[in-house]
Amino acid sequence: MLLHQQFEATAKRRTDTVGLVAGDRRLTFGEIWQRATCLAATIRRCGVQRGDRVIIFLPNSPEMAIAVYATLQVGAIFSPLSPQTKAGKLAYIFQDCAPTCLITDARLAAVWRTALNGADSLRTVIVSGLLDSNPGSLSFIRFDDATREGDALHDHPQTIDQDLASIIYTSGSTGDPKGVMLTHLNMVSAANSISTYLGLREDDVIFCALPLSFDYGLYQILMAFKVGARVVLEPSFAFPVKALEIMERERATVFPGVPTMFSMLMALGNLSQFPLVHLRMITNTAAALPEQHIKEIRSLFPQARLFSMYGLTECKRVTYLPPDQLDTRPTSVGRCMPNEEVYLVDERGTRLPPGSVGELVVRGSHVMRGYWGKPHETAKRLRPGPYPGERVLHTGDLFRMDDEGYLYFVGRMDDIIKSRGEKVAPREVENVLCALPGTLEAAVVGVDDPVLGEAVKAYVVLKPGYVYSERDVVKFCLANLESFMAPKYVEFLRDLPKTTTGKIDKTALKHRRADT
């Protein structure tokens, strides 16, 4: 089974059912599939081949879903990027995976036009919305023209489930984003396991304000289109009351969120005006919910079952806590999902018995094929499994497992910060801080934050003669990084604490915070 075939079956079965709602637009499954097929024919005609990379740089929109399924139909690999992506990072990704096609929006033109310089592999750009001018040698095609009826895909690529379906970029500890390679088998397996344990049904209405560039958001579409459920898509959760109004109007039954969204909801005074009687399921992942928040969410939405989950892009999802276990073990991230094995190992890779603390290892068909073009980083995460040729995922996360197989998060083995549910690589922020002319050295750590989970804190040592305000530093970071990576706090120090080997002592920096 290929990823898009899961949707094709739904499009045939529920052709005239509304599958996607976005603002005042309502699209049926049949219409989405039809437009995806037209777009597939267009990009095929432009030369996009099986195995080519297609960058999808779009806000949450029906166009994004159409672009995903069009890319899969030609046997190409889609790579979804957040509309917050800055030109520098986009240019890096163009270099990294050498896409032949970009599908984007005219409103993001200032960013992608800048990044196009040096993107030699690109031959086709599909643009939704109105583009004011069309310079350069690239062929620009309007999204609406590219999805017009009448076109059909004539030659079907011989895609098999070992082929890549997607490359999803995630923050790497070196500072450069890493492209997680996922096959059709990986993604179909993950979608099957998750939709099974959640019990997703075709009468479900999923309210999705998560970015589709993020696997948690993307899978809302993939799973809904597999089971035939409806997705109500919002560009963001910036306006929580608006979100509630839409959930009420559309009779949402499923609300996937991250801790920051739940904090925003809990801060509202008028939540009770939205009874949300149809809501039957709330899911949380990306970062753990504090126990107190679990209690509050359950009392605010007693009609809904709450699923606490844990995962990473490299295998999509690892564990879920069945809602009936919340009272017994509220701090657990749960146990393995169907068709998956998880276990803990020590530093030598030896399996550990229940009760111990060790690195979590994941085994199953959903485990990625590695990082695009990064064999060294891949080898750190993917190690030999029990059978010849098999590879298992070493998560880099430390857990404790109880006697019944439930897992409790202990900490990370690297220094990745999780802020607003997104991964922040300290190195990536430090690289930008060090690009400030007055910076002598800089270090970034995560500090506990009630809303963000962790907040990014920067320690900066300035060169003599330079004076910056905290705001100057934050502004410079905002100009060069996605906003979730910019430090919330900046502290200027005379020097940074060092270890005996001369490395910056991040533990000391964290303790320093604890003292003050």
Partner 1 sequence: MQDIKAQVKSYIAENFLFGENVGFGDEDSLLARGVLDSTGVLELVMFLETTYGFKVRDEELLPENLDSLLAIEAYVRSKLDGRVPAAVVHPSR
Closest by Cα among 257, 255, 234 to 20: 234
CB of 209 vs partner 1, minimal distance in Å: 9
Tell the smallest beta-carbon distance from residue 1 to partner 1 (Å). Answer: 35
**Which 275-334 residues touch partner 1, going by CB under 8 A?**
none
Instruction: Give the span between the Cα atoms of 480 and 429, in whole angstroms.
Output: 9
Question: Binding marks (x or -) toward partner 1, 96..115, rule CB under 8 A?
Answer: ---------x-xx-xx--x-
Residues 6+ apart with CB under 8 A from 271: 244, 265, 300
Residues 63-92 that bind partner 1 (CB under 8 A): 83-87
Nearer to partner 1, 437 or 465 (CB): 437
- Shortest Cβ distance from residue 95 to partner 1 (Å)? 19
d(CA 310, CA 307) in angstroms, rounded, equals 10
- From the CB of 129, what's the least distance to partner 1, in Å? 9
Mind spelling out the 3-state secondary structure of 223-275?
A: HHHHHCCEEEECCCCCCHHHHHHHHHHHCCCEEEECHHHHHHHHCCCCHHHCC
Q: Which is nearer to partner 1, 135 or 465 (CB)?
A: 135
Strand blocks (E) in 32-152 = 53-57, 77-81, 101-105, 124-128, 139-142
| Site for partner 1, residues 448 to 507, rule: CB under 8 A | 475-476, 478-479, 483-484
Our CB check for partner 1 shows the closer of 135 and 388 to be 135
Which helix (H) or strand (E) segment is 31 a member of? helix 29-45
| Spatial distance between the Cα atoms of 19 and 11, rounded to a whole number of angstroms | 9
Q: How many CB atoms lie within 10 A of CB 291?
A: 11
- CB nearer partner 1, residue 19 or residue 83: 83
144 binds partner 1 (CB under 8 A): no
Which of 281, 283, 300 has its CA nearest to residue 292? 300
Dist CA 402 CA 355 (whole Å): 5
Judged by beta carbon, residue 23 or residue 405, the one nearer partner 1 is 23
Number of residues that bind partner 1 (CB under 8 A): 35
- Give the residue with the Cβ less far from partner 1, 27 or 509: 27
DSSP state of 466: -
Nearest of 77, 341, 338 to residue 183 by alpha carbon: 77
Beta strands in 94-248 (DSSP E): 101-105, 124-128, 139-142, 164-170, 178-183, 205-208, 230-233
Closer of 109 and 398 to partner 1 (Cβ): 109
Distance in Å, CB of 191 to partner 1, minimum: 27
Q: How far is the CB of 113 from partner 1 (least distance, A)?
A: 9
Q: What's the min distance (Å) between Cβ of 271 and partner 1?
A: 9
Measured from the CB atom, is 273 or 303 closer to partner 1?
A: 273
Residue 92, SS3 per DSSP: helix
| 420 counts as binding partner 1 under rule CB under 8 A | yes
- Write the CB contacts of 6 (distance below 8 Å, at least 6 apart in sequence): 188, 191, 222, 225, 226
Query: Between β-strands 391-401 and 407-412, what pairing exists: parallel, antiparallel or unpaired?
Result: antiparallel
User: CB-wise, 270 or 299, nearer to partner 1?
Assistant: 270
Query: Among 268, 345, 357, 440, which residue interacts with partner 1 (rule: CB under 8 A)?
Result: 268
- The least CB distance from residue 96 to partner 1, in Å, is 21
Q: Which of 30, 240, 290, 396 binds partner 1 (CB under 8 A)?
A: 240
In the list 241, 266, 345, 508, the residue contacting partner 1 (rule: CB under 8 A) is: 241
CB of 516 to partner 1, least distance (A): 25
Residue nearer to partner 1 on the CB measure, 236 or 365 = 236
Helix 215-227 and helix 62-73: axis angle, to 10°?
70
Q: Which two tokens stand for residue 393?
A: 């995922």
Q: Which of 237, 262, 320, 406 binds partner 1 (CB under 8 A)?
A: 237
State which residue, 40 or 261, has the beta carbon closest to partner 1: 261
CB 263, min distance to partner 1, A: 11
Nearer CB in complex with partner 1: 13/475: 475
DSSP conformation class of 440:
E
Using the rule CB under 8 A, is 239 a contact of partner 1?
Answer: yes
Binding mask 360-389 for partner 1 (x = CB under 8 A): ------------------------------
| Contacts within 8 Å (CB) and 24+ apart, 292-298 | 293/259, 293/262, 293/263, 293/266, 294/326, 294/330, 296/266, 297/262, 297/266, 298/326
CB closer to partner 1 out of 179 and 211: 211
CA 96 to chain centre: 19
Q: Which residue has the tokens 């997607």?
A: 166
Residue 241 CB, shortest distance to partner 1, in Å, is 6
State the nearest-atom distance from the C-beta of 267 to partner 1, in Å.
Answer: 8
Tell me which DSSP letter residue 429 carries: H
- Least distance to partner 1, CB of residue 268, Å: 5
Question: What span, in angstroms and rounded, lies between the C-alpha atoms of 434 and 302?
Answer: 49
Per-residue interface string for the shown chain with partner 1, residues 12-51, x marking contact by CB under 8 A:
-----------xx---------------------------
Q: What is the C-alpha to C-alpha distance for residues 244 and 248, in angstroms, rounded to an integer?
A: 6
Query: Residue numbers of the site for partner 1 (CB under 8 A)?
Result: 23-24, 59, 83-87, 105, 107-108, 110-111, 114, 235-242, 245, 260, 264, 268-270, 420, 475-476, 478-479, 483-484
